[in-house]
Structure 1
Amino acid sequence: MPSIEDLPFEILSDILSIAAQLNSTDTPSYTYGLTQAQRTLQRTQTQIYLRGRTTPDVLRWHLVNSFRLVNSRWHEWALGYAMREIYVRKWRGGERWLYKSTEEQTRSSAAAGVFPVVYQHPYSSVKSTISLLRDYPHIAQHVRRVWFNGIYHFDTSRYIFDILGNCTGLHTAAIPWTSLRYGTEEDWKNLMSFPQLTSIEFLAVDLEDSLVSAEVNRTDNNILLSLDFSRITRLKIFGDSNLLPITDDDLITISRTATSLQEIHITSSTSITIKGLAALVSASRTSLKLLEYKPLSDSGFTHPSSVESHPQIHICTLLSSCPKLEDLAITLPTACPELFSRHSVAWHETVRLRIAGSGVCRFSTVDENIAEFSKLLEGARELLGVKRDLGVEISVGKFLFDTKTRLVHGNYKSAKVVSEMGWGPVEHVSLKGPYGATGLYGDDDVKGEWSAISEEEFWEGMRWGFVKFDS
């Protein structure tokens, strides 16, 4: 009689995936804690409180834990399902309580009312992960993505490469930016030799002053020149740092070999300018499909580039010459109609362009600035006339231009107050927020205060000085 084992592996895998999803309804997805520990002869009310969600890797393990007991085939499938992504983090939280092991020590401690406290080593789980992957290579070979968090010290960077070195089937490595400084040439060459590794993410954060000032944490092994990024198709840099941040020089060095990038994501970094970005785009011009460059910060929108700092870089022509580029969201110091001059571009959905206010107001008079910016808008509309399924949103300062609808989204309350209600444009409901996003970013704007007006009325308000690009 046929059984489920007679099915092709692809069908069996789909069935097990559905079963794992159904198990999620009965598997705890949150962790809980107790407000306090009860002691003998002490009446205290202990309450359970919600600590947080169960991490995805732990949850996946629980979902398929019973599958591993069926047979070797199911066991291997369950390992692949549970271990495909692992999250390695430094432990953070309260202390763990541990009573002395012998009865005599426990009694003496209880009599004195003092119980010994043993703090968990913050890297104990990291060390356990290293041991697991090292001692059981058949488990390590199922890992496809590794994400690290909290391991930023020079003294602990060894843990990162001890884990990565065992995951030879790795597809994506999301690692702290400090690994680029602290890793040795041997560590990185071993990692880059993995045949399936195609995506690298560098995640940066600001560190405490004590860590920044430590001399050992300022170590830089300068290994970039010896690395080959030709097989990497996705590069992501996220976050800003006050210690050895990734800069234009690093990207220029990477671009020497990074000739096959299909995706470039650079977000929340103020240490990378158009110069470094242009080097990467130029190196992978024929293969690039997605480009995201948003130099944002916690305090709001910033732009590390300026027209004066890199006058020789004309990235508009470079972007329009990328034959496979489909998704584009970029912040530029300035832009010109050449960005939309090639109607054969592969762009689709919505192109989001953000321009620094100083890059638009380059002329001495308001009318000249309006005329120059209108050329950019008309260039975008000519492109939209050819590619009707495309949308272009251009954000300048605190205003967003939707070229297809000829509406300008923004918060006009203060402008109307300044005009003493003499300037009263017809306002439409807007679901936009700064930089073309739904919702809002920062504290300057309150949800629901954005509206949309026509371009003609916006230009009128600009001529009167009620609205400004650089405000």
Structure 2
Amino acid sequence: MHINDLPSEILTDILLRAARANQAEGESFTYGLSQAPLPGERAKLTKYVRGPVATDSLRWDATRAIREVCHEWHQWALEYNFERIFERRWRGAERWADLTMSRRSYQFYEMNQIGPGHAVYRDPFGSLKHTDRLFNAVPTAANHVRRLWFNGFHTAETDKLILSVVASCDALEFLSVPWTVLRRGSVDDWVDLLNVNTGHGKPLHSLELTAQCLPADQAGALEKDATPSPLEHPAVDFSGLKRLKIFGNTLHKPICDEDLTLIARTATNLKILDFTNLSTISVAGMLALVKASSRTLQVLEHSPRSDDGFYHPFPGHIDAHVCTLISHLPQMRDLSMSVPYMCARLFANLEVKWSGECQVRTTDICHCFASTGLHTRMEKLREMFNAARDLIAARRRMGHSLSIEIFFAGCIFEPEKRLVHGDFALAEISSSGQWPASRQSSTKGPYGTSGVYEKEEGSWDAVGEEEWLGAVGRHWISL
């Protein structure tokens, strides 16, 4: 029996195991020479390890022998290699050695004691251009691509190249692109990108938009670009999208609430929504997408911390009770969000599907104002903690594990354990050393381990919930 006559699942597993073994045994580092001399200079060259070989290069090397066996194995190797494409911007000019591009020859290079170096220049967009040429010349290669990830490309030229590459990949499922693609892309570009009702391929499953602050020249070019927003056109349809992530902060034409409102018109089937490390989207903008996909949303990650130094996101104009809205999402199971206010209603629906860790960061309590009395606030907090415990118990009865953490007033509350974590040094001074009567060392701390943003690093203590509320009632701790 010929090996190619085996069932495809078995043959695929054999080839996959061989590729992984080859990758483990192959060259995993690149080498070079330090400070290769310019013409007319004399300098001593030192060999050094340049860095690890990129994952896609390792995969390509690992299937070299497999590709040479037969047509069937060659096709499998192409699918294995082209399934995920990662494009990174090359830094540009550098001095480097006369090092062979074949990593199999590294051992011979190590034996060479004399290696001339030359000042050379690499096109920083060379890899991206090569990928675009390849996919246009060999469409069958592009048909294997399932995921594309682009990093470091923010010019008009590279945005055009990225959109050209994306348009070639009919079977694309996961895409991560710079936000500049949204600012410079046309309606036709985004119709191809989302691939809904185009008659070929399948709709894009996951979209990540990444942002960062740009150098002055690139920022100026972006600000001068007058391309109309493709989101305003009805042909740009996000209904096929299941996951949307917006990551990173920028000052140059950032993604804002207006963009989210336009996306929300058609983004009605999202399962995962993720806003991380940005300050240009308000809570109201986030809620626009939550409402649009209220029937299907399963994961909400809303952690808009950034280097701007803000404590919580700007609320915007919220026209609904956030707690009621979130607690009645029928498919929600994984929740982490920052909201301007919260109350016991967030945990009132015992029929939710929440599981795992639930984190909520808030600045105030619902329906509380500057004139609201301290005892009213304390009662609302008790109601919130009791509702959280009831929900945890209800989920446990259904066989699901749920933990809830509430970040409020510079502290972290664990209702199930009836513990409050925080830095209570000032409260101890205000009480003349009377409080806290009992404390324990906290395993949590300032942001980095706790989620409390912009607090000084230091050790935290944990006290009982009622003991903490007692200190609040005696004005040793301020709400």
Is residue 2:182 matched to residue 1:161?
Answer: no
Worse overlay, 248-257 or 203-212: 203-212
Worse overlay, 160-169 or 117-126: 117-126
Match of 1:156, SS? helix
**Aligned match of 1:111:** none
CA positional deviation for 1:215: 6.2
Residues 85 and 425 of structure 1, relative CA distance in 2, 3 Å threshold:
farther
CA positional deviation for 1:440: 7.2
Residues 270 and 438 of structure 1, relative CA distance in 2, 3 Å threshold:
same
Residues 217 and 176 of structure 1, relative CA distance in 2, 3 Å threshold:
farther
**Aligned match of 1:461:** 471
Answer yes or no: is the 8 Å Cα contact 2:343–2:366 preserved in 1. Answer: no
Q: 1:232 aligns with which of 226, 238, 241?
A: 241
Superposition map of 1:303-318 within 5 A: 303-306=312-315, 309-318=316-325
Q: 1:333 aligns with which of 333, 340, 347?
A: 340
Match of 1:95, SS? strand
Q: Which amino acid aligns with 2:415?
A: T
Residues 330 and 155 of structure 1, relative CA distance in 2, 3 Å threshold:
same
Answer yes or no: is the 8 Å Cα contact 2:439–2:463 preserved in 1. Answer: yes
Match of 2:297, SS? coil
Q: Which amino acid aligns with 2:218?
A: L
Answer yes or no: is the 8 Å Cα contact 2:33–2:97 preserved in 1. Answer: no
Name structure 1 gaps, 5 residues minimum: 100-114
TM-score (norm 1): 0.87
Is residue 2:35 matched to residue 1:36?
Answer: yes
Superposition map of 1:165-244 within 5 A: 165-193=167-195, 194-214=201-221, 217-226=224-233, 227-244=236-253
Answer yes or no: is the 8 Å Cα contact 1:171–1:199 preserved in 2. Answer: yes
Residues 360 and 120 of structure 1, relative CA distance in 2, 3 Å threshold:
farther
Residues 74 and 337 of structure 1, relative CA distance in 2, 3 Å threshold:
same
Worse overlay, 256-265 or 37-46: 37-46
Superposition map of 1:59-78 within 5 A: 59-78=58-77
Deviations 1:319-363 (A, max 9, x none): 111111111111111112211111111111121111125879734
Q: Which amino acid aligns with 2:313?
A: P
CA positional deviation for 1:415: 4.4
CA positional deviation for 1:397: 4.3
Q: Which amino acid aligns with 2:470?
A: E
Is residue 2:94 matched to residue 1:86?
Answer: no
**Aligned match of 2:457:** 446
Q: 1:385 aligns with which of 393, 399, 410?
A: 393
Is residue 2:353 matched to residue 1:342?
Answer: no
Q: Which amino acid aligns with 2:266?
A: T
Q: Distance in 1 between matches of 2:433 and 2:93?
A: 57
Is residue 2:406 matched to residue 1:394?
Answer: yes
Q: Distance in 1 between matches of 2:139 and 2:270?
A: 30
Q: Which amino acid aligns with 1:326?
A: R
Worse overlay, 232-241 or 35-44: 35-44
% of aligned pairs identical?
37
Name structure 2 gaps, 5 residues minimum: 99-116, 196-200
Match of 2:25, SS? coil
Residues 30 and 333 of structure 1, relative CA distance in 2, 3 Å threshold:
farther
Q: Which amino acid aligns with 1:268?
A: N
Question: C-alpha root-mean-square deviation of aligned residues, in Å?
Answer: 2.9
TM-score (norm 2): 0.85
Q: Distance in 1 between matches of 2:294 and 2:336?
A: 16
Q: Distance in 2 between matches of 1:299 and 1:48?
A: 42
Superposition map of 1:405-424 within 5 A: 405-413=417-425, 415-416=427-428, 419=431, 421-424=433-436
Q: Which amino acid aligns with 2:457?
A: V
Q: Distance in 2 between matches of 1:359 and 1:121?
A: 56
Q: 2:303 aligns with which of 291, 294, 306?
A: 294
CA positional deviation for 1:301: 5.5
Answer yes or no: is the 8 Å Cα contact 1:154–1:216 preserved in 2. Answer: no
CA positional deviation for 1:299: 5.2
Residues 375 and 125 of structure 1, relative CA distance in 2, 3 Å threshold:
same
Worse overlay, 420-429 or 326-335: 420-429
CA positional deviation for 1:463: 3.8
Answer yes or no: is the 8 Å Cα contact 2:194–2:237 preserved in 1. Answer: yes
CA positional deviation for 1:54: 2.5
**Aligned match of 1:432:** 444
Q: Which amino acid aligns with 1:455?
A: E
Deviations 1:37-91 (A, max 9, x none): 2699998543333443322222222222221112222211211221111111221
Q: 2:380 aligns with which of 372, 375, 379?
A: 372
Q: Distance in 2 between matches of 1:154 and 1:275?
A: 31
Q: Distance in 2 between matches of 1:28 and 1:10?
A: 29
Number of matched residues? 449
Match of 1:302, SS? coil
**Aligned match of 2:125:** 123
Residues 359 and 319 of structure 1, relative CA distance in 2, 3 Å threshold:
closer
CA positional deviation for 1:14: 2.0
Q: Distance in 2 between matches of 1:157 and 1:185?
A: 14
Residues 299 and 23 of structure 1, relative CA distance in 2, 3 Å threshold:
farther
Answer yes or no: is the 8 Å Cα contact 1:147–1:175 preserved in 2. Answer: yes
Worse overlay, 21-30 or 260-269: 21-30
CA positional deviation for 1:315: 2.0
